[in-house]
């Protein structure tokens, strides 16, 4: 069980409350990596959205596949993940990956600086259902916290299921997500239906957001 019982302003995530129903995720991806299967769809899109050698934050990095996929493409990647069992699994699968054991809500520029990591990012990635597994009622706060980590012109890539999400996840309707993003000072630049940019659909949403004060 993860969560922060001693830190009242960082409530336990839906992910942590859903354990052990969520364990399938980490073993499934570890197996796919061991078999040499493709687990890089999200990393490929993120790579195409950035310049070479970009500074990228992988928020809710899980077992580390996206952090690893982006590092392999030459980017400077900070991965944060509050579930310490996943941080350990990430290190076992990708030695030296160095995920930080942090919740999005506590990931401020000051905290990142204290860990010796960049404090502003060209791209923030929160894929694989992170946003439907946040703690209840923290979506706007999480969006605002991540927005404050964007470098000028920086963007955010978010993806989650609109239906049939994983155990313990919420239903997050597109219009509610857009309202939360707008309230957090973000503009929706794109909604697609997959990481290969299929048209928007009712099963999965991939969002590209930018700061609403970004130069267009
Ligand atoms: C299904 S896993 C996906 C992990 C990874 N992004 C991937 O695509 O492989 C969902 C992740 O969201 C993380 N998560 C949920 N709420 C979070 C929060 N507030 N801050 C950081 N990570 C969070 C969980 O700990 C879990 O690792």
Residue 132 alpha carbon to ligand 1 centre in Å: 9
Q: What is the pLDDT of residue 20?
A: 66
Rounded CA-CA distance 21/24 in Å is 7
Has residue 8 been placed in a domain? Answer: no
In a domain, 1, yes or no: no
Q: What is the rounded distance in angstroms from the CA atom of residue 44 to the CA atom of residue 133? A: 23
The pLDDT value recorded for residue 142 is 98
Q: Which of 5, 24, 10, 20 is nearest to 128 (CA)?
A: 24
Instruction: Identify whether the C-beta of residue 117 lies closer than 8 Å to the C-beta of residue 100.
Output: yes
Q: Is residue 18 part of a domain?
A: yes
Residue at 206 is within a domain: yes
CB of 104 closer than 8 Å to CB of 146: yes
Contact 184, 144 (CB under 8 A): yes
Pocket mutation for ligand 1, best pick of 22, 44, 60, 160 (most atoms within 8 Å of C-beta): 60
Residues of the chain with pLDDT under 70: 1-8, 19-23, 215-216
In a domain, residue 31? The reply is: yes
216 located within any domain:
no
Beta carbon of 129 within 6 Å of any ligand 1 atom:
yes
As given in the structure block, the two tokens for residue 61 are: 């990095």
* Residue 64 CB burial class (10 angstroms; 0-12, 13-18, ≥19): buried
**Which domain covers residue 139, as residue numbers?**
14-211
The H or E element that residue 208 is part of is strand 204-211
pLDDT of residue 30: 81
DSSP state of 54: -
Q: Tell me, what's the pLDDT at 121? A: 98
* Pairing of the two strands 186-192 and 150-161: unpaired
Of all atoms in ligand 1, which is nearest to the CA of residue 104?
Answer: 20
| 92: in domain | yes
Q: Is residue 123 part of a domain?
A: yes
Contact 196, 178 (CB under 8 A): no
156 strand-pairing partners = 124, 209
Domain count, the chain: 1
CATH code: domain of residue 169: 3.40.50.150
């Amino acid at each position: 069980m993860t969560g922060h019982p001693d830190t009242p302003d960082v409530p336990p995530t839906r992910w942590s409350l859903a354990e052990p129903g969520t364990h399938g995720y980490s073993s499934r991806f570890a197996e796919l990596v061991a078999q040499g299967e493709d687990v890089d769809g999200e990393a490929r899109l993120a790579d195409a959205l950035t310049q070479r050698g970009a500074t990228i934050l992988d928020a809710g990095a899980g077992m580390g596949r996206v952090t690893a996929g982006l590092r392999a493409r030459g980017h400077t990647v900070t991965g944060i993940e509050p579930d310490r069992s996943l941080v350990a699994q990430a290190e076992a699968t990708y030695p030296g990956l160095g995920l930080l054991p942090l919740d999005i809500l506590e990931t401020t520029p000051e905290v990142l600086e204290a860990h010796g990591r960049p404090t502003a990012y060209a791209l923030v990635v929160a894929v694989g259902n992170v946003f439907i597994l946040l703690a209840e009622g923290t979506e706007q706060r999480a969006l605002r916290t991540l927005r404050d980590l964007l470098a000028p012109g920086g963007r955010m890539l978010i993806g989650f299921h609109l239906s049939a999400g994983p155990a313990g996840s919420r239903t997050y309707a597109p219009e509610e997500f857009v309202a939360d993003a707008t309230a957090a000072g973000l503009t929706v630049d794109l909604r697609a239906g997959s990481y290969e940019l299929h048209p928007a659909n009712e099963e999965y949403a991939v969002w590209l957001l930018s700061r609403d004060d970004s130069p267009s």
